Structure 1
Amino acid sequence: MTTKRKSPQAAQPLPEVTISDFDGARYLHLGTPWVQGSMRIKKPFDIDLEYVQRMMAWLLLVDWPTVPERRAMQLGLGAAAATKFCAQKLGMASTTAIELNPQVITVCRQWFKLPPDSDKLQVVLGDAGVEIQKPQYLQTVDALQVDLYDHEAAAPVLDSPDFYQHCRNLLTEDGCMTVNLFGRTNSFARSLAHIQEAFGPEAVWRFAATKEGNTVVLAQRMASRPSRELLSQRADQVQQQTGLPALKWLKVFKPVQPVAA
Structure 2
Amino acid sequence: MRAGANATARRRIGPQTLPEVTLSEDGEVRFLHLGTEWIQGSMIIDAPFDIELDYVQRMMAWLLFVEPDTVSKRRALQLGLGSAALTKFHFKALRMHTTAIEINPQVLAACRGWFKLPDDGPRLRVVLADAGQEIRNPAYTGNIDALQVDLYDHEAAAPVLDSPDFYADCRSVLTDEGVMTVNLFGRDASYERSLQSISAAFGADAVWAFKPTREGNTIVLAQRTAQRPTRMQLLARAEEIQSRWGLPAVKWLRIFKPVD
Which one of the candidate residues 39, 58, 62 is aligned to 1:58?
62
Q: Given the alignment of the two structures, is residue 48 of structure 1 paired with residue 81 of structure 2, yes or no?
A: no
Match of 1:123 in 2: 126
Match of 1:181 in 2: 184
Per-residue CA deviation, residues 177-198 of structure 1 (Å, 9 max, x unaligned), is 0000027755111000000000
Runs of 4+ in 1 over 4 A off after TM superposition: 4-9, 183-186
Deviation at 1:9, TM superposition (A): 4.6
**Number of aligned positions between the proteins:** 253
Check 1:18–1:246 CA distance in 2 against 1; reply closer, same or farther (3 A cut). Answer: same
Report the aligned-residue RMSD: 1.4
Check the 8 A contact 1:207/1:215 in 2, yes or no.
yes
Q: Given the alignment of the two structures, is residue 100 of structure 1 paired with residue 87 of structure 2, yes or no?
A: no
Match of 2:206 in 1: 203
Check 1:8–1:44 CA distance in 2 against 1; reply closer, same or farther (3 A cut). Answer: farther
Match of 1:88 in 2: 92
- 5+ unaligned residues in a row in structure 1: which ranges? none
Query: TM-score, normalization: structure 2?
Result: 0.95
Match of 1:76 in 2: 80
Aligned mates of 1:156, 1:7 — CA distance in 2: 13
Query: TM-score, normalization: structure 1?
Result: 0.94
Aligned mates of 1:186, 1:126 — CA distance in 2: 24
Percent identity, aligned pairs only? 62
Q: Which amino acid in structure 1 is aligned with residue 51 of structure 2?
A: I
Per-residue CA deviation, residues 109-131 of structure 1 (Å, 9 max, x unaligned), is 00000000001000000000000
Aligned mates of 2:196, 2:187 — CA distance in 1: 15
Match of 1:149 in 2: 152
SS at match of 1:114: coil
Match of 1:215 in 2: 218
- 5+ unaligned residues in a row in structure 2: which ranges? none
Which one of the candidate residues 17, 20, 25 is aligned to 2:21?
17
Deviation at 1:98, TM superposition (A): 0.0
Aligned mates of 1:154, 1:184 — CA distance in 2: 5
Aligned mates of 2:27, 2:236 — CA distance in 1: 35
Aligned mates of 1:57, 1:222 — CA distance in 2: 16
Check the 8 A contact 1:195/1:219 in 2, yes or no.
yes
Match of 2:173 in 1: 170
Aligned mates of 2:10, 2:185 — CA distance in 1: 22
Which one of the candidate residues 37, 40, 64 is aligned to 1:33?
37
Check the 8 A contact 1:7/1:130 in 2, yes or no.
no
Deviation at 1:23, TM superposition (A): 3.1
Aligned mates of 2:187, 2:60 — CA distance in 1: 21
Check 1:26–1:233 CA distance in 2 against 1; reply closer, same or farther (3 A cut). Answer: same
